[in-house]
Structure 1
């Protein structure tokens, strides 16, 4: 039987963890559990004190809501575009800064710096860049006599979502570079030296050695980019607020829109479906990438 002193020493560290656990439960676990309950009610701003259980009514209405359907499609499109290009550019930058250059440390800092900026600040900067009259992008296109390419980038329904994607890629590729660079630096140089002696060129070594050995870092970076893309909110809210005509509406902004309109139960149902989509996508991508890693 343990003495009182032994019990105190055993549970002593828990007293230090308790404040953090309490905050985590109050501001994360409890709200998520309550949102799960509210998803099956008609709770809204008109019946704050008399909400009733309505079963699957919110979900039936949700899957027939054209705005939610477009939001899902836009979210998936945004995620696919940003994951592919963020990690592609991050991989190229990691290869560049992994070389022995005098400016390597400077370049690493410059490439990673955009990730440290606030999404709001970045959104305001890109909003000015995309300005159709005074923005740098259209001014540059006019300067090089490519006036036919100028657009109202954030108002044009065909370019608005891609314009937001470009901002996310610019801000996130430095973070992808850091993760992939960590993987590159774990590769034993003797592998490349042996392949070089055997006559393998740079791209042959890249395909046969570098990519397979850095696959784990690419998977981690891809998954983080995917989760970030699925949860996109600030970028859309600052640049387009879901416009024009809901062409850039994503799941997170739709939840915010309906919650702000007082449809608390309906927005909770949307949040629950959103959670299921992100979880399912993460599991599916992780299983596929693990198989690819084994094949490599």
Structure 2
């Protein structure tokens, strides 16, 4: 009896916070999505059926934001997972200063997103930015661009920043997976004459597929729900070139369109859930047990 009291004493406060700040707002969002609630009708919201959803699917800015979000998610996830795996394989070896290299690659995740965005704003500055100064310094001034001011380069520049931030975390997860593989497998492969490529594709990759599943899910979710880095770096500009669903919601919510943003948020939440569900389900089937 005493044990159950202690359990409730710990569970109830945590569950209450989760209920108030997550479950209830999610339930409220479903109802608000079907109203015309806005700052113009703040005290008298009216049920408007699926009007918000019709508006969303005829809004060209929404489709631009959705396209940008998907592009951003695919590019950052593929490159973060690939680089994280490559660094994990390399830094799993007994190299000099291995721990220092691991710390350097991992450290960006510990820096505030806003601070990183300010740093990259300075790096990408068209005149005084370190990137353009470096290119001009080595005689490649023709490659210097207004990276965040040109619609052709802004989204890719934002992707580079996210890759720099997130690769270290995925590397750490891959590294943990690699180090959990028994050494006997590699010793047997060496006896059979397997080279490094065969050991990687026949032993390492199949046995860390669970880590690959987790990292891919983390990359997809982080990419789809991106907001802070884009908002701090470009605020969706120039000309909506980096507009993502997160900044799109912030813009319309700031304009007082509460019902409309609730509808967009509801649809996008379902979209993220479906993508995550099918990605994890498909990759789980390919995992190999140790």
TM-score, with length taken from structure 1 = 0.95
Matched residue, 2:285: 291
Matched residue, 1:197: 191
Given the alignment, which residue of 125, 147, 165 partners 1:171? 165
Q: Which sections of structure 2, spanning at least 5 residues, go unmatched?
A: none
Matched residue, 1:92: 86
Q: CA deviation at 1:145?
A: 1.4
Cα distance in 2 between the residues matched to 1:10 and 1:239: 49
**Matches of residues 1-296 of structure 1 in structure 2 within 5 Å?**
6=1, 9-293=3-287
Cα distance in 2 between the residues matched to 1:128 and 1:87: 27
Q: CA deviation at 1:16?
A: 2.2
Q: CA deviation at 1:141?
A: 1.0
Matched residue, 1:3: none
Cα distance in 2 between the residues matched to 1:10 and 1:170: 46
Q: CA deviation at 1:132?
A: 0.5
Cα distance in 2 between the residues matched to 1:45 and 1:268: 14
Which secondary structure state, in structure 1, belongs to the residue aligned with residue 139 of structure 2? Answer: coil
Whether the 8 Å CA contact 2:207–2:287 is kept in 1: the answer is no
Which secondary structure state, in structure 1, belongs to the residue aligned with residue 278 of structure 2? Answer: helix
Q: Could you tell which deviates more after superposition, 146-155 or 75-84? A: 146-155
Cα distance in 2 between the residues matched to 1:40 and 1:146: 55
Deviating 4+ runs (over 6 angstroms): none
For residues 9 and 292 of structure 1, do their structure 2 counterparts lie closer, same or farther at Cα, with a shift above 3 Å needed? Answer: closer
Q: Which sections of structure 1, spanning at least 5 residues, go unmatched?
A: 1-5
The number of equivalent residue pairs is 289
Cα distance in 1 between the residues matched to 2:285 and 2:151: 38
Per-residue CA distance 1:162-183 (angstroms, 9 max, x = gap)? 1000000001000000000010
Cα distance in 2 between the residues matched to 1:281 and 1:30: 24
Per-residue CA distance 1:147-168 (angstroms, 9 max, x = gap)? 2211110011011011000000
Q: CA deviation at 1:12?
A: 3.5
Cα distance in 2 between the residues matched to 1:28 and 1:226: 21
Cα distance in 2 between the residues matched to 1:284 and 1:155: 37
